[in-house]
Amino acid sequence: MTHPYDSLTPDCVVDCLESIGLVSDLRLLALNSYENRVYQVGIEGGDPVILKFYRAERWTDAQILEEHAFAQELVDHEISVVAPESIGGETLHHVLGQRFSVFKRRGGYPPELDNLDHLYRLGQTLGRIHRVGGAASFLHRRALSPSRMATESRLFVKTDFVPLELQSAYSTLAKDCDQAATEILSAMTTDDLQRVHGDCHVGNILWRDDTPHFVDLDDCISGPVVQDIWMFLNGDRNQREQQLAEFIEGYEEFNDFDVRQLSWIEALRTLRIMHHAAWLARRWSDPAFPKAFPWFSNQRFWADHILELREQISAMQESPLQLQRS
């Protein structure tokens, strides 16, 4: 079976780069990226750059360019986001059957979520991002959807990927999770949806010079602002509420936060858990995925996944986190 990335050889990467006027010194480093292919490429007489090759048929050109425009809008507001470089007036290039963009290389390390000062600064930066994000709407990017992330996900994996002996338990539990999350998120209205990062975890943040630099807006969507917040909260309930208070204190210096969105956190977590399993299943024909995620095809993964969904049923029934404003 052929795959769109089969032709993306080192020579192809270099040819793509040089087709837009950048000369490679042939130093090539593949970075840990699977949805797209991402390389650090050395440049003669200059700093290395990052090349991101977009997965075929995932996004339209219009959706990618809208992501790029959002990133540049944030940069124009002096927010620390890594936006694609404009080369020859273009940020999205089409060469040799590939679509790619060029980014400056940024160094840094993940933020420390047990460091309250880091959380405060993350809150400040995300408050600024959301203030800009709320000033306009996406025309082409998707909106957060329980139907797409939960219903379509469980139906996709249940027959061909869930082991036979676990299919009954999975089907029942996944349907219950889907219904519970959908009911909770039915409280969302179009007024609650705005431009957000969409995949705000520590792997997409580079901490440098006491500043968080946000990268990879590939999953930016129209969604509630809490979608970009909940993944920063971890530990027991008291710890999460302490983290939330510190984060929102920084956040509200630049943007208001609607506390009713706290009741959506566990439903959003459920959607992400279900969507992640389906994402792996949909990408399983890509040779990079079995190599990177060999445990996905094991029965143990699905047993643990079912347990995680069972825990989410309980979590969605609990009272939401309480925000203690200072």
Q: Which residue do the tokens 């000033």 mark?
A: 135
Question: Hey, what are 102's tokens?
Answer: 């060029």
pLDDT of residue 252: 98
Tokens of 74: 């944030």
Q: What is the mean pLDDT of residues 61-69?
A: 98
Has residue 283 got a pLDDT over 90?
Answer: yes
In terms of Cα–Cα distance, which of 137, 64, 131, 135 is closest to 101?
A: 64
Q: Which of 192, 216, 228, 286 is catalytic?
A: 216
Fold (topology level) of 116-317: Transferase(Phosphotransferase); domain 1 (1.10.510)
Is 47 buried (19+), middle (13-18) or exposed (0-12) by CB count in 10 A?
Answer: exposed
Mean per-residue pLDDT, 207-221? 94
Supply the mean pLDDT for the chain. 95
Q: What is the pLDDT of residue 3?
A: 78
Active-site annotation holds for 76: no
Looking at the predicted structure, is the pLDDT value of residue 77 above 90?
A: yes
The class of domain 27-103 in CATH terms is alpha beta
pLDDT at 310: 98
Name the percent of the chain lying above pLDDT 70.
99
Give CA–CA dist 101/59, Å, rounded.
14
Helix, strand, or coil (residue 100): strand
Q: Is residue 160 within 8 Å of residue 192, measured between CB atoms?
A: no
Say which of 178, 199, 218, 286 is annotated catalytic. 199
Q: How many CB atoms lie within 10 A of CB 93?
A: 19
Contact 246, 120 (CB under 8 A): yes
Give the pLDDT of residue 1.
62
Q: Are 50 and 59 in contact (CB under 8 A)?
A: no
Q: Is 126 helix (H, G, I), strand (E, B) or coil?
A: helix
Kind and range of the H or E run holding 38: strand 37-43
pLDDT at position 159:
86
- What are the start and end residues of each CATH 1.10.510.10 domain in the chain? 116-317
**50-61 residue pLDDT tens:** 999 999 989 999
Kindly report, as residue ranges, where domains of CATH 3.30.200 are found in the chain: 27-103
**Residue 219 bears catalytic tag:** no
- Apex CA 20: angle with CA 17 and CA 22, to 5°? 60
61: how many CB neighbours lie within 10 A of its CB?
A: 12
| Torsion of the alpha carbons at 187, 192, 193 and 198, rounded to the nearest 10 | -80
Encoded tokens for 137: 């709407």
